């Protein structure tokens, strides 16, 4: 975590994964989710820290959703299920991750907006 704090400054996270990241942020979250490997429990502290530095909740959800696409398992899946099925499943997973992330951001904005109104 210390190395991450040194490398990833809050301005860098906000630029690439913040509210104004746009399509680039979604592509980064999807790509990093697909390329990530290892136990999910290792990723939770890192994602929490990125979220505290300004990472959008929807991008966080897309990252976690795309961890279901496992590159080492793709050849085995193609062998058993065929290329069309695996391609469709991978496409569906990536599109569903964006939809899920957008829904999560919508829900978050609905409830965060209400909390801010109560405070003011």
- Break the chain into its structural domains and give their ranges: 2-119
Per-residue pLDDT of the chain (120 residues; tens, 9 = 90+): 456 556 666 677 777 777 878 898 899 899 989 998 888 888 898 888 888 888 899 999 999 999 999 899 999 999 999 999 999 999 999 999 999 999 999 999 898 766 555 555
Query: What is the spatial distance between Cα 47 and Cα 79, in angstroms, rounded to a whole number?
Result: 34
If 0-12 CB within 10 Å is exposed, 13-18 middle and 19+ buried, where does residue 59 land?
Answer: buried
């Amino acid at each position: 975590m210390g190395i991450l704090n040194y490398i990833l400054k809050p301005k860098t996270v906000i630029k690439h994964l913040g509210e104004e990241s746009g399509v680039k942020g979604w592509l980064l979250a999807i790509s990093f989710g697909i390329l990530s490997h290892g136990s999910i429990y290792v990723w939770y502290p890192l994602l929490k820290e990125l979220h505290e530095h300004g990472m959008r909740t929807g991008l966080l959800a897309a990252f976690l959703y795309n961890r279901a696409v496992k590159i080492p398992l793709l050849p085995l899946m193609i062998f058993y299920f065929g290329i069309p099925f695996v391609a469709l499943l991978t496409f569906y997973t990536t599109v569903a991750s964006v939809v899920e992330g957008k829904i999560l951001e919508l829900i978050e904005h609905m409830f965060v907006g209400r909390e801010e109104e109560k405070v003011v």
